Structure 1
Amino acid sequence: MNLLSFSSGNLLADRRAEYAWMLFEAGDLKAAAELMGEALALTPSWTAGHFCLGEMLAEAGEHAAAIDAWRAALRLDPEDRLGASLKLELHGALDGMEAAPSAFVETLFDQYAETFDTALVEKLAYRVPELLTEAIGRQARDRFAHAVDLGCGTGLMGERLRASVSFLEGMDISAEMLKRAEAKHVYDRLARADLMTLPDLPRQADLVTAADVFMYLGALEQLFAVIAAALGPGSLFAFSVEHHAGPEPMVLRDSRRYAHSEPHLRAALAAAGFETASLDRAVIRMDRGDPIEGLIVVAVRKGAEAGVGDAAPTAASKDRPPAH
């Protein structure tokens, strides 16, 4: 996220912040933090300035001061468009978060939308749509009546699905991402939706996909239940996560993305009424030169006799028309 695109409204403060960021990138951390502090003295209510100061102080090893800066950013913007709460959790100053703030995810991808395809595919070697398509293909299903692509972004997964789906629906929290997906003319219907508060899905769907989405959601049980409640027996649910090999069900990484363990995913799917059909480890993209290992998962909705969807919220158990 380009933090300095969030102007302070004060030209002098903005210029000092830009110079502070240059010093920071050059490795002069103390001078960068001091200059950012001067910028904030001119504009003490500048959220992005406090967040940047936290970044600089943390890199300089001044963690207590960094935490104070991120707390200031969160006080100024309780919706947390910059993800200060995630920084606080990573530095032990906040506990119990189970998802990235919705406003942070929306802001991140609204900013990223214009260069998303080029940056992700060409620069980061992003492979999730390809890997998910291959995994779905191994289930001996060559046609689907209605697919829902959760967190569809600009439509990279939709482009892969289009040839095998009669009606293709995409959902995303970012309006800018949806504009770019619409321009590709891949989807039959697009809707803006926050997956953290999604009450239900179209009942007629027989395939749900989520490519590189759940690393921003963290806890998945509620959404798994919503998806299970919408799918009939034999329908497919295909998704990716970043892989976490430790004993914890999930962890928040320095990237401010969540990674999930294989045993946790299998248990959460089973509890929601899915059978894991395939689960493969694969490098899903690069990040700062390092390969990111993910899990590529395809699950099959079991029959109603297995108690599918018992954990789903009340809203998800009611038939409702699809969102427009």
Structure 2
Amino acid sequence: MERAFLYSGDLIADRRASYADMLFETGDHGAAADLMRQALEITPNWTAGLFRLGEMHEAAGQRDTAAEAWRKLLQLDPDDRFGAGLKLAATGHAAVPETPPTAYVETLFDAYAPTFEAALLERLEYRVPELLANAIKVAVPKRRFRSVLDLGCGTGLMGPYFRADADELGGVDLSEAMLQKAAEKRVYDTLIKGDVNELDTPAQSADLVIAADVFVYVGDLHRAFNNIASALAPDGLLAFSVENHSSDVDLILQPSLRFTHSENYVRRVLAENSMTLISLQRETIRLDRGESLQGLIVVAKRV
């Protein structure tokens, strides 16, 4: 996913940063880092430049130097809009957090919104909405839903699959820019800015909750699943995807800064939150750097 590169406000620094990016693209990572460091000598508190400097040092194999840049960035930006804390964790310089910083996820998807659908559907062959919709239809054929809640709805890719079968269709997302894109589809009755870990939904108000490609940016699932279980009506359904790994480790922060979850962990947290598994399918959910990315497509029921 491409991150918006914010300008420093200094023409010379921006020009050097641009040249640094050009060198980086040619594979000369060390020279790119040197030139980016020169840009930061002019604008030492440029947060986006510090993040990019860290990435360049990391690509050059200079992980300790990269960590220095990210630590300085965290001092300047304690809300961590760029995910510097995640980079420190992913490179072994800090403990892995239970969940990514809210400001990071919001900033990431605000920047991503204009190109989100083109990137996923045209370049990455994203399949999660179709896979989830099919899994739900197999689990509960011909069921009509009183209330459907699309968590992390993004630009609204899931909405058209359920508009005809839902009396009320609502979407929740952290990113205002994503919600604006979803509103353009005119398929949702309500769209609310919110966080799955801080879900403010009346108890037993939804009989279907969908979370497509959401939990990769949540990490630990206990709070989210507890909130969802509270929101679900008796016999209500939760349908979601996760990126998957084959080890017994519960969750792993990947170099992509997304979390993957083990199947055993997913099963356990569902059971701990009074949800019973209906179906679990291992599927190719999209491409990642040209390779098939594996995930789990899951449907569970509130007991």
Report the TM-score range of the alignment, normalised by the length of the smaller protein: over 0.9
Q: Hey, what does 2:164 align to over in structure 1?
A: 163
CA distance in 1, matches of 2:26, 2:202: 49
Q: 1:293 to 1:2 in 2, by over 3 A?
A: closer
Q: 1:254 to 1:201 in 2, by over 3 A?
A: farther
- Kindly provide the amino acid, as one letter, of the partner of residue 273 in structure 2: A
Q: Hey, what does 1:143 align to over in structure 2?
A: 144
Give 3-state SS (helix, strand or coil) of 2:116's partner: helix
Deviation at 1:202, TM superposition (A): 5.7
- Kindly provide the amino acid, as one letter, of the partner of residue 183 in structure 1: E
Deviations 1:266-293 (A, max 9, x none): 0000000000000000000001101110
Q: Tell me the TM-score normalized by structure 1.
A: 0.91
Q: Tell me the TM-score normalized by structure 2.
A: 0.97
CA distance in 2, matches of 1:292, 1:249: 18
Q: Hey, what does 2:30 align to over in structure 1?
A: 30
Q: Hey, what does 2:49 align to over in structure 1?
A: 49
Map 1:70-219 to 2 at 5 A: 70-141=70-141, 142-201=143-202, 203-219=204-220
CA distance in 2, matches of 1:177, 1:251: 26
Work out whether residues 201 and 227 of structure 1, in 8 Å CA contact, stay in contact via their aligned partners in 2.
no
Identity %: 52
Give 3-state SS (helix, strand or coil) of 2:234's partner: coil
CA distance in 1, matches of 2:4, 2:123: 23
Q: 1:272 to 1:4 in 2, by over 3 A?
A: closer
Which segment is superposed worse, 225-234 or 104-113?
225-234
Deviation at 1:66, TM superposition (A): 0.6
Deviation at 1:198, TM superposition (A): 2.3
Deviation at 1:93, TM superposition (A): 1.1
Work out whether residues 205 and 231 of structure 1, in 8 Å CA contact, stay in contact via their aligned partners in 2.
yes
Q: Hey, what does 2:287 align to over in structure 1?
A: 286
Work out whether residues 210 and 238 of structure 2, in 8 Å CA contact, stay in contact via their aligned partners in 1.
yes
- Kindly provide the amino acid, as one letter, of the partner of residue 146 in structure 2: A
Q: Hey, what does 1:271 align to over in structure 2?
A: 272
Deviation at 1:204, TM superposition (A): 2.2
Deviations 1:244-303 (A, max 9, x none): 11110000001100000001000000000000000000000001101110000000000x
CA distance in 1, matches of 2:66, 2:99: 22
Deviations 1:38-93 (A, max 9, x none): 00000000011111111111111111111101111111111111111110001111
CA distance in 1, matches of 2:92, 2:163: 44
- Kindly provide the amino acid, as one letter, of the partner of residue 45 in structure 2: S
Work out whether residues 110 and 176 of structure 2, in 8 Å CA contact, stay in contact via their aligned partners in 1.
yes
Q: Hey, what does 1:315 align to over in structure 2?
A: none
Which segment is superposed worse, 135-144 or 38-47?
135-144
Deviation at 1:5, TM superposition (A): 2.6
Q: Hey, what does 1:322 align to over in structure 2?
A: none
Map 1:310-321 to 2 at 5 A: none
Deviations 1:14-37 (A, max 9, x none): 110010010011111221111101
- Kindly provide the amino acid, as one letter, of the partner of residue 183 in structure 2: E
CA distance in 1, matches of 2:202, 2:82: 29
Q: Hey, what does 1:306 align to over in structure 2?
A: none
CA distance in 2, matches of 1:229, 1:243: 25
Q: CA RMSD for the aligned pairs?
A: 1.2
Q: Hey, what does 1:8 align to over in structure 2?
A: 8
- Kindly provide the amino acid, as one letter, of the partner of residue 150 in structure 2: D
CA distance in 2, matches of 1:81, 1:201: 30
CA distance in 1, matches of 2:287, 2:18: 28
Q: Which runs of structure 1 show a deviation greater than 2 angstroms over 4 or more consecutive aligned residues?
A: 1-5, 196-204
Q: 1:2 to 1:39 in 2, by over 3 A?
A: farther
Give 3-state SS (helix, strand or coil) of 2:206's partner: coil
Deviation at 1:199, TM superposition (A): 4.2
CA distance in 2, matches of 1:290, 1:79: 33
CA distance in 2, matches of 1:154, 1:245: 30
Give 3-state SS (helix, strand or coil) of 1:129's partner: helix
Give 3-state SS (helix, strand or coil) of 1:166's partner: strand
- Kindly provide the amino acid, as one letter, of the partner of residue 38 in structure 2: E
Q: Hey, what does 2:242 align to over in structure 1?
A: 241
Q: 1:89 to 1:275 in 2, by over 3 A?
A: same
